[in-house]
Amino acid sequence: MLFWDASALVKAYSAEDGSACVLGAFKVTRERGSLTDFVALEVLTVLSKHWRTKRLTRAEYRTAVAEFVDDYELFYNLEVREPIRRNAFHLAQSYRTTGLGAMDLLHLASALHAWSAKPHEPLVFATSDALLQTAARAEGLRTFNPETDSLSKLLKLLSR
């Protein structure tokens, strides 16, 4: 299973370092992609920021949002229930000195929950946030950064 953080997923809808790798991952792993509504909301806010800061034109922004909304149905949407929130609170204490934000901790708790539900299935946490990647690895998750890792590395991580 591939769990998407917004920092990695947004690259599919806005040209950035790692976009080609994310699009390649989509072709190979889309049916195994997971996210939460909070990841989706963050993708939409990042796209809005890209429009406000002129990284995207108005037409590019509208296209990106429309493509994401269409694609949203193709992902497995993990509902953020009480055990995930409780774990996010615990992670907030564990990582209080790192600078991780609330959404990062919620995404990490969600990925950990998905992994615990199917511990015999490989789960890879896709993120381009260095702090979040470090925390995910510390929690035992396999990580994939589309800015620095190859698609072949992702496939190896998913096949173990």
Query: 56-102 pLDDT, tens per residue?
Result: 999 999 999 999 999 998 898 889 999 999 999 999 999 999 989 99
Domains of the chain in sequence order: 2-159 (3.40.50.1010)
**Confidence tier at 55 by pLDDT (50, 70, 90):** very high
First to last CA, the chain: 11
Give the model confidence (pLDDT) of 5-25 as tens digits.
Answer: 999 999 999 999 999 999 999
pTM: 0.91
Q: Is the pLDDT of residue 30 over 80?
A: no
- Note the helical H segments in the chain: 6-9, 19-29, 37-52, 58-72, 82-94, 102-117, 130-138, 151-159
* Residue 2: partners with Cβ closer than 8 Å, 6 or more residues away: 25, 29, 32, 33, 34, 123, 124, 126, 144, 154, 158
Mean pLDDT of 18-45: 89
Instruction: Read off φ and ψ for residue 125, nearest 5 degrees.
Output: -95, 115
Length of the chain: 160
> Which of 50-54, 116-120, 135-139 is the least confident region?
116-120
DSSP 79: -
What pLDDT is attached to residue 32?
Answer: 66
Q: Is 87 within 8 Å of 22 (Cβ atoms)?
A: no
